[in-house]
Amino acid sequence: MDTIERLPYDQRPANRDLSHLDGEYGWPLVGKTLDMFRNPHEMFARHYEKYGAISRISITGNKCVLLLHPDYVQRVLLDREKNFSIKKGWESVMAEFFEGGLVMRDFEEHRLHRGIMQTSFKPDAMREYVTRIQSIVKHAVERWALQDTFLFYEEVKRLLLDIAFDVFCWVDDSEMTVKTMNKAFTDMMEGALGIVRLKIPGLLYHRGLRGRQYLKGFFMGLIEEKRASADRDVFAHFCRAKTEDGSYYDDEDIADHMVFLMLAAHDTTTSAATMAAYYLCNDDDLQARLAEDVACSDQPFSYEAFFHEMKEMVGVFYETLRMHPPVSMFLRRTIRECEFDGVRVPADTMVCVPGAYIHRLEEFWRDPNTFDPTRFSEEVNEHRNHNFMWIPFGGGAHKCIGMHFARLLFMQTFAEMVGNYRMEFAKRDYFPAKLQYFPFSKPVDSLPMKLVPRS
């Protein structure tokens, strides 16, 4: 055994020799990354047609094994044999921004840390968030309706940030605090998603790291106060959470989890809402059916209504996530050599599972490039043909902890809009619009639209 092999898996360099596999890397340095940014669906479709369900590729600066079959997704996400490190996967692209977050922790360490978040997302806590979210959403939608036209993406992003500050951390809402937090958060998001990743003052990446540092410091400074308070926001739950031996979690860990939570929650939900609005503006009949659904539910909407009623709205949520999953790929690194249908994947190799393409595989989905929420209706249930063909929230130990929260935000926002207004594109002949796919899907012009009161 040589020296490198004796190192723990998270200290070994990545394996970059995949010459035994079919596939292509693309351009030097950037590989296929730019093609993927332009249109991931087309890029992965071409790769799949040429090389099949397992091949080599170079994306995001990594030489990877690309896995394009739900059976492979199942093996990687469930990871019963502990062959795949999520930490080494995400670290390769997001190390500094995700530091200390749940996706930067493997196996037992991850299990212990996930405990910090459990209470915050239990139904009792969620029921309480519903009431708070309702009033924020109602005001925002009323404000949008007063404008001739507005950019949906920009407005929903602001709305979700307001909700995050309120529900996640009940920050003192003095204008100064909100403004500084907002700026730090926006800088962090832009830095995390920037393409040029150099720590040079003035560049987005550098500003992003400064924003992250500010937020982390902000949370660290409040931990004692929150712990002693009777607050019931997400942050307060984290501060009071106890480890298995009965002690509080470390302050640094709590602050890192808060920062990661805000990153994980925000742009994902913003993108899903924007893409749903885009399809809804294009379908008056669907909007009318949703409005009927909403009218039949008790108002103000209860937590139960979002989970047990409004089935058609759930279909819209699911179908939007199928067409445009905000987390479009899963990155992992092998810890030891594995095999997929007889193909060898060496230890320390990056594997990439693009959910965005699994959601459009023609063998599994009927007419996959068409937006059709009825495929999730009880009569059709197309996504039930394989447990891992629809994976917008992942699966296994790292399955999204905020998935019900995301659904709540989505349902609340659209119930408020379609219940009272008709959503319309601001421009004629807008559909199909030019879309941006990376880092998250949205129309490139941020979806100019208007709300017209339902008579």
Does 357 bind ligand HEM (CB under 6 A)? Our answer is no
Is the CB of 258 or the CB of 286 nearer to ligand HEM? 258
Is the CB of 65 or the CB of 406 nearer to ligand HEM? 406
Is the CB of 6 or the CB of 80 nearer to ligand HEM? 80
Binding segment for ligand HEM (CB under 6 A), chosen from 122-130, 143-151, 265-273, 432-440, is 265-273
Does 167 bind ligand HEM (CB under 6 A)? Our answer is no
Is the CB of 23 or the CB of 89 nearer to ligand HEM? 89
Is the CB of 218 or the CB of 410 nearer to ligand HEM? 410
Q: Which of 208, 373, 402, 419 binds ligand HEM (CB under 6 A)?
A: 402
Is the CB of 207 or the CB of 360 nearer to ligand HEM? 360
CB of 264 to ligand HEM, least distance (A): 4
Q: SS3 string of the chain?
A: CCHHHHCCHHHCCCCCCCCCCCECCCECCCECHHHHHHCHHHHHHHHHHHHCCEEEEEECCEEEEEECCHHHHHHHHHCCCCCEEHHHHHHHHHHHHHCCCHHHCCHHHHHHHHHHHHHHHCHHHHHHHHHHHHHHHHHHHHHHHHCCCEEHHHHHHHHHHHHHHHHHHCCCCCHHHHHHHHHHHHHHHHHHHCCCCCCCCCCHHHHHHHHHHHHHHHHHHHHHHHHHCCCCCHHHHHHHCECCCCCECCHHHHHHHHHHHHHHHHHHHHHHHHHHHHHHHCCHHHHHHHHHHHHCCCCCCCHHHHHHCCHHHHHHHHHHHHHCCCCCCEEEEECCCEEECCEEECCCCEEEECHHHHCCCCCCCCCCCCCCHHHHCCCCCHHHHCCCCCCCCCCHHHCCCCHHHHHHHHHHHHHHHHHHEEEEECCCCCCCCCEECCCCCEECCCCEEEEEECC
CB of 418 to ligand HEM, least distance (A): 19
Is the CB of 231 or the CB of 424 nearer to ligand HEM? 231
Number of residues in contact with ligand HEM under rule CB under 6 A: 24
Is the CB of 110 or the CB of 206 nearer to ligand HEM? 110
Which residues between 54 and 113 bind ligand HEM (CB under 6 A)?
86, 102-103
Does 405 bind ligand HEM (CB under 6 A)? Our answer is yes
Q: Which of 33, 74, 83, 269 binds ligand HEM (CB under 6 A)?
A: 269
Binding segment for ligand HEM (CB under 6 A), chosen from 33-41, 260-268, 302-310, 365-373, is 260-268
Q: Tokens for 133?
A: 């979210």
- Per-residue x/- marks for ligand HEM, 302-321, CB under 6 A? -------------------x
- Per-residue x/- marks for ligand HEM, 113-152, CB under 6 A? -x--------------------------------------
Q: Using CB under 6 A as the criterion, which residues of the chain lie in contact with ligand HEM when the complex forms?
A: 86, 102-103, 114, 261, 264-265, 268-269, 272, 321, 325-327, 330, 392-394, 398, 400-402, 405-406
